Chains A and B, each alone.
Chain A
Amino acid sequence: MKVQFSDISMRFGAMDVLQDVTIGVEEGEFLCIVGPSGCGKSTLLNIAGGFLSPAKGTVTIDGDPVTGPDRRRIFVFQERGVFPWLTVEGNIGFGLFDLPDEERQRRVAQYVHLVGLEGFEKAYPRELSGGMKQRVEVARALAVNPDVLFLDEPFGALDSITRLQMRSELLRIWRAARKTVLFVTHDIEESVQLADRVVVMSARPGRIRRVVDIDIAHPRDLSSRRYIELRDLIFGEIGLAHQV
C-alpha cells in the first residue's frame, strides 16, 4: 500500500471527529473521500499530509509513519492557496528553490505547459480566473514531483462549467503524471466521475460506511447505466434521496 490509514481517530476538544478509520490506497490510485460536511474528511487528509496528528492510530506512506509535512506529498487547496505576490512562474517554481536556475526554469516551463498556461507566465494571480489559479496550484504541486497529491475540495469555489473542465484536466494530468491522488469532496457526482474507488464517510464522528469501486473506464459516459447506478448507490449510502 502506498498510503495506509490504520485505526485513525481524531477529536477536537470534546468532539469526536473521526473514529477508527482504516483504509489503504494503492500506488497510482485515484481515491475520492465523500461525506456530509463536518464528517472529518478534510481532517483525515490533513492527518495524511502531516499537518495534524491523530489522537489514535497511524498513517504510513511507503511503510514509513507520517510525522510532518513532506515535499514528496503535496497538499492542494482551493485556488486561494496561490501566492498573490508571485507570478504564475514564481508560484509554480516556489517549491523548486533548491534547484539551479536553469533546471528550475526548465521545470517551470514544463508544468506551465502541462496545465496549459503558456502566455501567462508573467501574470499575477489577480489577473487570472478561478480555474486558471487552480491550475497554477496543481502545477505548483506537481512541479516538485511528489508521489502523492492531497486535494481538499479543490474545485469547490469554481463555477460549474469550469469545474467540469477542471475535472477532465485533472484526469488528463493524473494519467500523464501517475500520482497517487487522495481527493476530498462533498460532490458525489464529482467522485464518481474521477475516482477509482470512493470512500463514503458517515456524519460526525466520521467512519467509513462503504468503499465503492468505480469500475467504469475513462473517459466516463455520464449517462451510462453503470455511472447512474454507482452514483445513486452512493447517494443512497449517504442517505439522500436523489430528487429535488
Chain B
Amino acid sequence: MNVTMQRPTQHATSSIEHSTFEKLVLPLLTVAVIIAIWSAAVKFSGTKIFPSPIAVASAIGTLGEKSLLWRYIADSLTRVFAGYAVAIVAGIPLGFLLGWNASLARAVNPLIQMLRPISPLAWMPLAVIWFGVSNAAPIFLIALASFFPIVVAAMNGVRNVPPMYLQAGRNFGLSTWQLMIHVVIPAVLPRIIVGLRLAFGIAWVVLVAAEMIAVDSGLGYLIIDARNAGKRYDLVVAGMLLIGVIGLLLDTGIRRVEEWISE
C-alpha cells in the first residue's frame, strides 16, 4: 500500500479560546440579564410576596450557614442515588433480556408501554400506603421513574445491534455468552448511557416532587416547608435555584462519564 495516510488530529487548537468564551461567558451574561430583569420587575411592580434576587441570595447564605441545608442536600442525594441504583440493577438486565428474546418482549413490552406514561407521581398515594412517610417511599418513586427509560434504552439497544456484528461474532466461534460480553454489551453501551442520563434527569425531577409529600427532609421538603411554615418565598426560590444548580452539576458529571466511556 503506497497511499499516504495521516491520522486526523483531534482538535484544532484555534477554536479553544473561542469555545471557552462561548461556554462560560455567554451563559453568565444571560444569567446577569435575567437577574437584572428580575430585580427591576420586583422593584417596579412593588410586590410584597415575590422575593428580589438579593433576598434570595441572602436566604441561600443563611441556609448555607445552617447544617440543615447540608443535611437536606445529603438526604436528597442519598434518595436519588438509591432509587437510581435500584432502577439500574433491575432495568439493565431486564432490558437485555427483552432485547435479546423477541417472544418475551412481545409478552412484556405492552405492559411496559402501558405503565410508562403513568407519571411516577401518580404512584405517590400507593407509595405512601406501602412505605409510609419514610425514605423508602421517594426511593421507590425514583426507582420507578428511572426504571422505564433504562429498560427501554437497553431493550432497543440490544434489538438494534447491527446483525452483521452478531453474524461476525458467531462466525469467529463465539458462544452466546461470549457474544454478549464481547459484542452486544460494547455495541449497546452508548445507547444505554444516553438512557441512563435521561433516566437521571427524570429521577431528579421526581425526587423533588416526592419529597414534597412523602418525607420531612430534603430539597423538595425545604420548598414546601418554607411556604407552609411562614410563606418564606425567598427560601422557596432559594430552594428552587439549589435544585437547579445541583441538577446541572449532576448532569454535567454524567456527561463526563458518558464522554469518558465513549472515548
A interface residues (Cβ-Cβ under 8 A, vs B):
49, 51, 68-71, 74-75, 77, 80-81, 83, 85-86, 94-95, 97, 115-116, 119-120, 123-124, 127, 129, 132, 135, 144, 165, 169
Contacts and interface: CB of A to CB of B under 8 A. Distances in A.
Contact of A85 (B1, B8, B186): B186
A69 B173 CA distance: 7
Interface string B68-89: 0000000000000000000000
Contacts of A71: 171-173
B124 interface: no
B173 A81 contact: no
A83 B183 contact: yes
Contacts of B164: 77, 80-81
Given A116-B1, A132-B5, A165-B3, A83 B172 contact: no
A144 B165 contact: no
A69 B170 contact: yes
B170 A169 contact: no
Given A120-B5, A129-B5, A165-B3, A83 B165 contact: yes
A115 B1 contact: yes
A85 B171 contact: no
B1 A94 contact: no
Nearest to B171: A69
A94 B165 CA distance: 12
A97 B182 contact: yes
A119 B7 CA distance: 9
Contacts of B178: 97
Nearest to B1: A116
A51 B5 contact: no
- The 3 closest A-B CB pairs, nearest first, are A116-B1, A95-B172, A85-B186
B7 A85 contact: no
Contacts of B170: 51, 68-69
Interface of B: 1, 3, 5, 7-8, 162, 164-165, 167-168, 170-174, 178, 182-183, 186-187, 189, 263
A71 to B, nearest CB: 4
B8 A94 contact: no
Contact of A75 (B3, B167, B173): B167
B173 A70 contact: yes
B187 A85 contact: yes
Contacts of A165: 1, 3
Nearest to A85: B186
Nearest to B8: A127
Contacts of B165: 81, 83
A123 B10 CA distance: 12
Given A127-B7, A169-B1, A81 B168 contact: yes
A97 B3 CA distance: 31
A129 B172 CA distance: 24
19 contacts: A51-B170, A69-B170, A69-B171, A69-B173, A71-B173, A74-B171, A75-B167, A77-B164, A77-B167, A80-B162, A81-B164, A81-B165, A81-B167, A83-B187, A94-B172, A119-B5, A123-B7, A127-B7, A169-B1
Contacts of A81: 164-165, 167-168
A205 to B, nearest CB: 24
B170 to A, nearest CB: 5
Given A80-B164, A85-B186, A85-B189, A75 B171 contact: yes
Nearest to B190: A85
B173 A95 contact: yes
Contacts of A127: 7-8
Contacts of A94: 168, 172, 182
A68 B171 CA distance: 9
